[in-house]
Amino acid sequence: MNILNQRFETPYETAPFSKINTTDFLPAFKTSIEKAKAIITSICENNNPPTFENTIEALEFSGLELERISSLFFNLNAAETNEEIQKIAQEVSPLLSEFSNDVALNEALFLRIKTVFEQKNSLKLTSEQQQLLEKKYKSFSRNGALLNADEKEKLREIDKSLSRLKLTFGEHLLAETNRYELHITEESDLDGLSEDEKEAAKLRAEKKQKKGWIISLDYPSYIPFMTYAKNRKLREKLSCAFGKKGFQNDELDNQSIVLDIANLRQQRATLLGYKTHAHYILEERMAKTPEKVIHFLNDLLEKATPFAKKEFETLSAFAYKNDGIEELQKWDGAYYSEQLKKKLFDIYDAQLKPYFKLENVIEGAFLIAKKLFGLEFKKLEDIDTYHKDVMTFKVLDNNSNYVAIFYADFFPRQGKRSGAWMTSFKPQYILNGTNERPHVSIVCNFTKPTKTKPSLLTFNEVTTLFHEFGHALHGMLANTTYPSLSGTSVAWDFVELPSQLMENWCYEKEALSLFAKHYQTGDLIPMEWIEKIKAAGKFQQGMQTLRQLSFGLLDMSWHGKNPTSIKCVKAHEKEVFSSTQLYPDVAENCMSTAFAHIFQGGYSSGYYSYKWAEVLDADAFAYFKTKHIFDTKIANSLKHYILSQGGTEDPLVLYKKFRGKDASNKALLERAGLV
C-alpha cells in the first residue's frame, strides 16, 4: 500500500520523507481524492435530517488525508523541487481543481449545508461552530453553488486553467533565477564586497567547475552585490537581469500568463456575481472592499510622499557629491543608501554581521518565545527531513506538554524558490477528543556557512527570520477544534500581524542582548550600536513606504478593475507606478512578470495586507511599550486572543479584545518617522 495513504508510524507522526518516492504522489492523490469523495457521498446520502454534526463537521474532517498529501507535495515543490515534481504538479493541480469544484458544485451537499445554515439561529452553537457554519456556507455560495449547470461547467474550466497558469508562472520564475549567472574573473570587479561574500561567490563558481566568482539572482548573492559592489556597470547588468525575469519574449516569458490570469480571475468574479476579483476576495477580509483598500493605500501615500521625495533628493545629492552621478538609477539605490547610512549612523551590515551568527539568532528567537509564551525548543535528531540542511525541534510549553514540531530550512538550493515563507505539514485540530498538534516549518534563503565562517546574517535577514518565526508561532500556538479555522487560517490582512509584530523585538536592547554576540569573541553587541540600529530603522522609511505602496497599488490595478482593456503589461505597470516612482523607468524591466506573491502565491488583491498589518503590529507593540517588552500579561493576552484563536472570530473583534481598542496608524507613522 502507498505510504502516503497510511497513518505515518513515525515520531509524532511526522512525514517519513526518506521513504516517500516522488512516484508515490500521483497515485496517492488519486486514492485520497476517491476516499474524500466517498465520505462526501455518505454525507449526501445520509437519510437523517441535516445537522451541524452529520453535515458541517463531517465535511470539515472529510479531506484530512488529501490535505496532508497536498501540504507535503506542494511544500516540496517550493523548497526541494525538480523536473519530475514539477511534471506531477502540472498533472495534479487540475485534479485538485476538479475535485474542489466537484465538492463546491455538489447540489445535494449544498442543500444539506443550506438547510443547517437556515436553522443557525435555533441551533445552540459555540462561536467557533457558528464561524465554521458561516465559512462552509460561504465557501459554497462564493464558489458557484448558486450557478446553473452551464455556468458551473464554465467555472470548472476557469479554475483548471488558473491552476495550470499559476504553476507555469512559478516554474518560469525559478528557471529564470537558476539560469542566470554573472561570471566574474577579475577580483577588482568585487571591490566593496566583504571577504565572506567573495568566498561564497567563489564557492558558487567552484560548484559549477568555473574559475573566478559567480553572482546569482538568489537573494543572498544578489542583495550584497547590489548593496556593496563599487562596479556600477556590473550592478546595472545584475539589476537589469533581476528586473527582466519573465519579461524576455522567450520560452520563459510570463507576459501572456499575467494577462490570462488577470482576465480569468475577472471572468470568475463576474460569473459569481462580483464586480471584480478584488470585490470577490475582499468580501472575506478585514478591509471588505477595494475602495477601502485604495483609500488606505492613498492615505499613506499622501503622508509618505513628501518624506520619500526629500529622502530621494538627499540620496541623489550624496551620490553626485561622492561619485558625480548625474541621475540616480535603480542599480544605485541600495549601494548609495548603504554608503549614506554608514555616514549618517556609522553603522553598516559588514560591521553587524559578526554579531548575528545564524545559530545565535535562532536561539535568540527561541529565548524570546520562552520569555513571552513559556515555550521550550528541543533539537531533535530522529525526525526525517526532505534535505540534510533542514533542522527539527520539538516545542514544549512551560508544563513540558508537547506543543508542535518545528522545521527550519535556511539555505538556498537549486530546487528552492527564492524568498522566505512559513508553511505547515500538519495543522492543529481536535478530533475524537485528541488535540492533534501542528507540524510547522519556516523556509528562508540565507548565506550558507563557508569553509572558514559560519552563516552570518545581515540585520535585514535577522528581521526576516523573526518575521517567519512570528508566523510559525501563530501556527504552533493554535488551539481550535477545526483545521480550517486553525493557526494562520485567518483573514489575509490579519495573518501578517504576528509575523510583523515579532520583528519589533529585533530593535530592542533587552532582546538583542540575549543573542547578538560576536561569533568569535562572544562579546555582546555594543549598546550604542543598538541605538544606531534603532535610529537607522527610520532611515529612508518614506522611500520604503512608497515601494510597498507601489506593490499594493499594482496588485489592485490588476484585480480591482476590469483588466480586459490591458493589452500591454509593461505600459499598464508604468502608468500605475507613476504616482510612486522615484527612479527613472528601466525599459527592459517589468515587475508584474515576476510578482509571484500575486500571480503564483495567495496575495492577489491582498498585497496591501503587509501595510495593513504594519498598522496593527505598530499599535500592538506600542501596547507592550506602555509596560515592558516582555510583559507576560500582555503576552498572555496576545496568545489567548490572537495566536491561539485562528479564524474562530472576526479579526477586528479579536484585536479589540487584545488591545482594548481599535488600531490607529499613529504608532506606525511615529515608528517610521513619518510625522
| pLDDT, tens digit (0-9, with 9 covering 90-100), for 578-608 | 999 999 999 999 999 999 999 998 899 999 9
Q: Is 419 left (phi over 0), alpha (psi -120 to 50) or beta?
A: left
> Taking a C-beta distance cutoff of 8 angstroms, is the pair 144, 104 a contact?
yes
Q: Cα(563)–Cα(570) distance, rounded to whole angstroms?
A: 14
pLDDT at residue 364, rounded to an integer: 98
Q: How far is CA 309 from CA 279, 302, 364, 573, 575, in A?
A: 33, 12, 37, 21, 19
CA 373 to the chain's CA centroid: 23
Whole-prediction pTM? 0.85
* Percentage of the chain exceeding pLDDT 90: 92
Query: Mean of the pLDDT values across residues 256-264?
Result: 98
Mean of pLDDT over the chain: 95
Task: Check pLDDT > 90 for residue 249.
Answer: yes
Burial letters 523-538, b for 16+ CB under 10 A, else e: ebbeeebbebbeebbe
C-alpha cell at 457: 546574517
Task: Check pLDDT > 90 for residue 612.
Answer: yes
Which helix (H) or strand (E) segment holds residue 309: the answer is: helix 290-323
The 10s digit of each residue's pLDDT in 110-146 is 999 999 999 999 999 999 999 999 999 999 999 898 8
Nearest CA to 589 among 328, 363, 331?
331
Burial letters 602-639, b for 16+ CB under 10 A, else e: ebbbbbbbbbbbbbbbbbbbbbbeeeebbbeebbebbb
Q: Cα(216)–Cα(231) distance, rounded to whole angstroms?
A: 16
Q: Cα(301)–Cα(295) distance, rounded to whole angstroms?
A: 10
Domains of the chain: 3-146 (1.20.1050.40), 180-243 (no CATH), 245-345+538-675 (1.10.1370.10), 354-491 (3.40.390.10)
pLDDT at residue 505, rounded to an integer: 97
pLDDT at residue 128, rounded to an integer: 95
The 10s digit of each residue's pLDDT in 56-100 is 999 999 999 999 999 999 999 999 999 999 999 999 999 998 999
Q: Cα(403)–Cα(436) distance, rounded to whole angstroms?
A: 9
> Taking a C-beta distance cutoff of 8 angstroms, is the pair 311, 542 a contact?
yes
Query: What are the residues whose beta carbons fall under 8 Å from the beta carbon of 661, sequence distance 6 or more?
Result: none
| Identified catalytic residue from 80, 468, 496, 614 | 468
The 10s digit of each residue's pLDDT in 272-313 is 999 999 999 999 999 999 999 999 999 999 999 999 999 999
3-state secondary structure of 578: coil
The strand pairing partners of 423, in sequence order, are: 441
Q: Cα(468)–Cα(474) distance, rounded to whole angstroms?
A: 10
Give the pairing of strands 391-396 and 213-215. unpaired
Q: Cα(206)–Cα(305) distance, rounded to whole angstroms?
A: 46
Give the pairing of strands 439-443 and 421-426. antiparallel
Q: Cα(18)–Cα(3) distance, rounded to whole angstroms?
A: 11
pLDDT at residue 602, rounded to an integer: 87
Nearest CA to 76 among 301, 386, 357, 367?
386
Q: Cα(472)–Cα(454) distance, rounded to whole angstroms?
A: 24
Query: Mean of the pLDDT values across residues 332-345?
Result: 95
Nearest CA to 138 among 183, 100, 104, 173?
104
Q: Cα(369)–Cα(514) distance, rounded to whole angstroms?
A: 12
Amino acid residing at 675: V
Q: Cα(468)–Cα(478) distance, rounded to whole angstroms?
A: 16
Q: How far is CA 663 from CA 83, 546, 552, 629, in A?
A: 46, 22, 20, 19
3-state secondary structure of 373: helix
Place of cell 498529501: 69
Output the 3-class SS for 181-242. CEEECCHHHHCCCCHHHHHHHHHHHHHCCCCCEEECCCHHHHHHHHHHCCCHHHHHHHHHHH
Q: Cα(618)–Cα(604) distance, rounded to whole angstroms?
A: 24
3-state secondary structure of 500: helix
Place of cell 473583534: 653
Burial class (CB in 10 A: 0-12, 13-18, 19+), 31: middle
Task: Check pLDDT > 90 for residue 552.
Answer: yes
Task: Check pLDDT > 90 for residue 410.
Answer: yes
Indicate the DSSP class of residue 11. G
Instruction: Examine the residue annotation and report whether 468 is marked as an active-site residue of this protein.
Output: yes
Amino acid residing at 349: D
The 10s digit of each residue's pLDDT in 216-226 is 999 889 999 99
pLDDT at residue 537, rounded to an integer: 87
> Taking a C-beta distance cutoff of 8 angstroms, is the pair 143, 280 a contact?
no
C-alpha cell at 599: 500571480
> Taking a C-beta distance cutoff of 8 angstroms, is the pair 651, 286 a contact?
yes
Sign of CA dihedral 34, 36, 41, 42: positive
For the chain, the straight-line distance linking the first and the last C-alpha, in angstroms and rounded, comes to: 64
More confident site: 559 or 448? 559
> Taking a C-beta distance cutoff of 8 angstroms, is the pair 516, 524 a contact?
yes
Q: Cα(151)–Cα(144) distance, rounded to whole angstroms?
A: 8
The 10s digit of each residue's pLDDT in 622-648 is 999 999 999 999 999 999 999 999 999
3-state secondary structure of 14: coil
